[in-house]
Amino acid sequence: SAVISQKPSRDICQRGTSLTIQCQVDSQVTMMFWYRQQPGQSLTLIATANQGSEATYESGFVIDKFPISRPNLTFSTLTVSNMSPEDSSIYLCSAKISNQPQHFGDGTRLSIL
């Protein structure tokens, strides 16, 4: 199974700033995803990170707020832009190889003051 590394593991940011989260997989994967988990809630898919093309966003999430890059088959970034306290969440990256289950990174715990 794929090993997924995320960084930073946690951060405290000022409102109005932006933070970029990195996700590195130890093998080439077909698909990468970004999820958000608000405090006390379940996981919600933000977008599918497509290699070599624009990410596919879910309803309620827009590229201007959550720009995503995926320059190759092992790496992706998620930027949380112009942050407000409502963006305080855990952000998780996941990866999937063909018919194997999805695996998740340890997440980035983000607090906005």
Partner 1 sequence: GIQVEQSPPDLILQEGANSTLRCNFSDSVNNLQWFHQNPWGQLINLFYIPSGTKQNGRLSATTVATERYSLLYISSSQTTDSGVYFCAVVSGGYNKLIFGAGTRLAVHP
> In this structure, how many other beta carbons lie within 10 angstroms of the beta carbon of residue 90?
17
- What 3-state DSSP class applies to 86? helix
Residue 43 found at the interface with partner 1 (CB under 8 A): yes
Q: Which is nearer to partner 1, 19 or 82 (CB)?
A: 19
Query: Which residues partner with 6 through β-bridges?
Result: 23
Structure token pair of residue 36: 């958000």
Q: Which is nearer to partner 1, 75 or 104 (CB)?
A: 104
> In this structure, how many other beta carbons lie within 10 angstroms of the beta carbon of residue 38?
13
Residue 100 found at the interface with partner 1 (CB under 8 A): yes
Q: Which is nearer to partner 1, 20 or 30 (CB)?
A: 30
Contacts with 48 (C-beta within 8 Å, 6 or more apart), sequence order: 31, 32, 33, 55, 56
Q: Which is nearer to partner 1, 59 or 82 (CB)?
A: 59
In the complex, what is the shortest distance from the CB of residue 16 to partner 1, in angstroms, rounded to a whole number?
A: 26
Residue ranges in contact with partner 1 by CB under 8 A: 1, 30-31, 33, 41-45, 48, 58, 90, 92, 94, 96, 100-104, 106-107, 109
